[in-house]
Amino acid sequence: MSLLLLHDLLIHAGPRLHVLAADVLDNPAPIDPTNRSKGVSLLLSYTKWGALITCGLVAAASGGLMAFGTVTHRPDAADRGKRALLWSLGGAVVVALAIPMVNEVFGAAA
């Protein structure tokens, strides 16, 4: 059944396939959506610094949670602090890698 369907498709659509392949689509140059707006650059810079500051604050708070859990003999709190510390350090690495990429894409480094 499927071979007959494929055969019919090739027989009837065959002459029209070369027309679709021959049409050249217009490829316009990319346009800056921000139109070099300073507001977007300022918002991106605040966001980048805010992300780094948040990662630092979470790392400090997770250190405090580890200390609290250890002193009060609550291993679940200490464990939660260790996981939060690892996540905050991982987030800081991601943010540190993302900042140059955002600068390169938006041309903020130039």
Mean pLDDT in each 10-residue stretch from start to end of the chain (110 residues)? 65 59 69 73 86 94 95 95 95 91 72
Q: How far is the C-alpha of 66 from the C-alpha of 83, rounded, in Å?
A: 10
For position 73, what pLDDT does the model report? 94
For position 26, what pLDDT does the model report? 77
For position 42, what pLDDT does the model report? 83
Q: Is residue 61 part of a domain?
A: yes
Q: Is residue 79 part of a domain?
A: yes
Number of domains in the chain: 1
For position 97, what pLDDT does the model report? 92
Residue 102: closest CA among 56, 27, 34, 53: 34
- The angle subtended at Cα 69 by Cα 86 and Cα 58, nearest 5°, is 35
Which residues touch 34 (CB under 8 Å, ≥6 apart)?
40, 41, 106
Q: Is residue 20 part of a domain?
A: no
Q: Is residue 80 part of a domain?
A: yes
Q: Is residue 42 part of a domain?
A: yes
For position 16, what pLDDT does the model report? 58
Range of the domain at 78: 37-110
Q: Is residue 107 part of a domain?
A: yes
Q: Is residue 105 part of a domain?
A: yes
Question: Tell me, what amino acid is at 8?
Answer: D
Q: Is residue 10 part of a domain?
A: no
